[in-house]
Each structure stands twice: as C-alpha cells, then as structure tokens.
Chains A and B, each alone.
Chain A
Amino acid sequence: MTSWLGYACIAITLWGIVGLFQKLGTNRMPARSLVIWLTAGFLMLLPFFWSPGTWSSLSGKAVAVGLLGGLLNGLGSWALFVALENGGKASVVVPMTALYPLVTVGLAIAFLKERPTPLEWLGIIVALAGGAMLSYETVPGETAQSAQPERNV
C-alpha cells in the first residue's frame, strides 16, 4: 500500500466515525449549535499540536494558505447549510456537494501540473462516482424532513 493511501484510509476512518457522531448529535441539537461545539473540540486539540517552534518554522505562504483553508472549509459548510435551508433536497444537494474533489482535481492539474497515470484516472473517476452515490440518502417525505421523528439511540 502506498504511503499516502495509508494516511488517506486513516482520514476516511476518522471522518466516517464523525459522520455517525453527526447523525447522533443532530438528533439532540440543531446543526448550528453543533458547529460551535465542533470548534470547541478543535480548540481543545491546539495545545497538543502546538510546540515552541511552531511559528518560527512557518513561511508566510504557509500561514496564508493554512488560514484561508480553514476559512474556505467553514464557508463551504455554511453554504451547504444554506442550500439545504433554501429548499434544496438533501438527496440531491449532499451527493452533489460530495463531488467537490472534482474541483481539486481540476485545480491540481491546472496549477500544480499534476499528471495522474491512466490507472490513477480510473481510480479518481470510480472514487468520485462512489463518493456521490454513498451520500445519496433518501428521506421519506423529504420536504417535511424536519417533521420526521428522530431516532434516539
């Protein structure tokens, strides 16, 4: 297994568990409040990630890119909330937004001059299709989604 794939699988595992917590959490409080507690979790990790050399070894470019990354990721999540609130069906919007890596693929090819091998292209296409299909959740009577009785575990 190539080294990047091992790390990618760790990310899939941890984020997959987050998806479950998300389901369990939104049964108990609105998503907007959950976001605040998620940020609290992020903040709790900071002392563990911080070391005396953290700032001195950072380039200005890395700082700009890192900060902008956090902001864009948050904005993306916020836009998804808005799409769902503005009448977008979850079964359409969520699989659609799962196609976001398509943008990364395009940008990496255009700006970083990445050239995936034919086999990698096959993997990319299969992964994109799989990711979108996995996110397809059907909710009975979707327009009345909020009125659905939530399952408590």
Chain B
Amino acid sequence: MAQNKAPSSRAWLIPALLCILCWGVWGLLVKIGSDTASPEQLQILFTLGLLPLSLFMLFRLRLKVDRNTGGVIYGVLNGVFTGFGLLAYYAAMHRGKASVVGPVTGLFPLLTVALAFLVLRERLNRVQAGGVALALAAVVILSI
C-alpha cells in the first residue's frame, strides 16, 4: 500500500523541494549582488530575469489573461508592493548577514495572518498563533 502511495507524494514533494532550493539560492545571490549593486539596480535585473518566465506563462495561458477589474488591481498592487518590499530586502541584505536576514524576512506571513484576521475575519489556528509568538520573539532576540 505504501508503495502505491509513493509516486503521488513524489509528484508534489520534488517540486516543493525545488521551490525551497530556488528561493534559498536566490537569498545567497541577493547577498552577493547587494555588495556591489544598488537596490534599484537589483530590482531592475530581478524584473528582467523574471520576464522570460512570465512570458512563458503568458503563452501557456494562450494570451488569455483574466481581466476581472478587481483581480487586475490586486495583481498590479501585488507587483508594486512586492517590488518596494524587495528594495528593502536588498538594503537589509547589504547591511546584515544573509544567514540572519533570510530567516527574518521570511516572517512576512506574520502581517498577512494579522491582516487576514482584521480584514477578512479569518481565524488563526493554534499553530499560527504559536508562529506569531515565535516570530515576535525572533525579532526581539535579533534586535538585542
């Protein structure tokens, strides 16, 4: 039985591990780049590097991109806020250790959970509540 289940778990496990690897290496690259390039320069390069993938996605969608007005607004806002967040990330990487800045900036779901609670009235589960406590503790520890 376990053997029957193995292939299906591999179908998602390998891409999930690939995701971890890609994002993890990206952190190292940002640290290396931030030694010599400004946040603005890095963001320009980041966008250009992302462009081939976005174009690939666009063609896979057969150029039929949803144009629901609300969705477009949130999508574009996502880009703008992510972009400015990246500028701050590059600045943090330039000033701090990648081994510390990486894990701390990974705490962004802290605010998402809080906003989802306030705006969408989503309830926190117990694991997330524990995560909030640990996230705040981490920031306090590293500010000492």
Please list the residues of chain A having a beta carbon within 8 angstroms of any beta carbon in chain B: 1-5, 7-25, 28-30, 32-46, 49-51, 54, 57-59, 61-63, 65-80, 82-84, 86-88, 93, 96-109, 111-112, 114, 116, 119-120, 122-124, 126-138, 151, 153
- State whether A15 touches B108 (Cβ < 8 A): yes
Known: A39-B54, A39-B79, A88-B16. A116 touches B88 (CB 8 A): no
- State whether B16 touches A80 (Cβ < 8 A): yes
- State whether A98 touches B22 (Cβ < 8 A): no
Taking CB as reference atom, which chain A residue is nearest B124?
A: A134
Q: Provide the residues of chain B in CB contact with A7, threshold 8 Å.
A: 88-89, 91-92, 95
Q: Provide the residues of chain B in CB contact with A12, threshold 8 Å.
A: 104-105, 107-108, 110-111
- State whether A131 touches B107 (Cβ < 8 A): yes
- State whether A126 touches B138 (Cβ < 8 A): yes
- State whether B20 touches A71 (Cβ < 8 A): no
Specify which of B33, B77, B86, B95 is in contact with A21 (CB 8 Å cutoff).
B77
A-B contact pairs, 28 of them (CB 8 A): A14-B81, A15-B81, A18-B81, A28-B70, A29-B71, A34-B74, A37-B79, A38-B82, A41-B75, A44-B80, A54-B41, A59-B36, A67-B48, A72-B26, A73-B26, A74-B53, A87-B11, A88-B12, A100-B27, A100-B106, A101-B106, A102-B103, A104-B25, A104-B31, A107-B27, A108-B99, A126-B137, A135-B131
A-B interface, 9 closest residue pairs, ranked by CB to CB distance from nearest: A41-B79, A103-B24, A16-B111, A70-B49, A37-B75, A66-B45, A19-B112, A4-B96, A88-B12
- State whether A84 touches B12 (Cβ < 8 A): yes
- State whether B36 touches A19 (Cβ < 8 A): no
Bound CA–CA A96/B15 (angstroms): 11
- The yes or no answer to B21 lying at the interface (CB within 8 A) is yes
Q: Provide the residues of chain B in CB contact with A45, threshold 8 Å.
A: 43, 47, 79-80, 83-84
Taking CB as reference atom, which chain A residue is nearest B16?
A: A83
Q: Label chain B's interface by main secondary structure.
A: helix
Taking CB as reference atom, which chain A residue is nearest B104?
A: A8
Bound CA–CA A106/B28 (angstroms): 9
Q: Provide the residues of chain A in CB contact with B93, threshold 8 Å.
A: 4
- State whether A40 touches B16 (Cβ < 8 A): no
Q: Provide the residues of chain B in CB contact with A80, threshold 8 Å.
A: 15-16, 19
Taking CB as reference atom, which chain A residue is nearest B80?
A: A41
Q: Provide the residues of chain A in CB contact with B18, threshold 8 Å.
A: 75-76, 79
Bound CA–CA A103/B102 (angstroms): 9
Bound CA–CA A67/B33 (angstroms): 10
Q: Provide the residues of chain A in CB contact with B31, threshold 8 Å.
A: 104, 108, 112
Q: Provide the residues of chain A in CB contact with B74, threshold 8 Å.
A: 21-22, 24-25, 28, 34, 37
Bound CA–CA A71/B137 (angstroms): 33
Write the nearest CB–CB distance from A107 to chain B, whole angstroms: 4
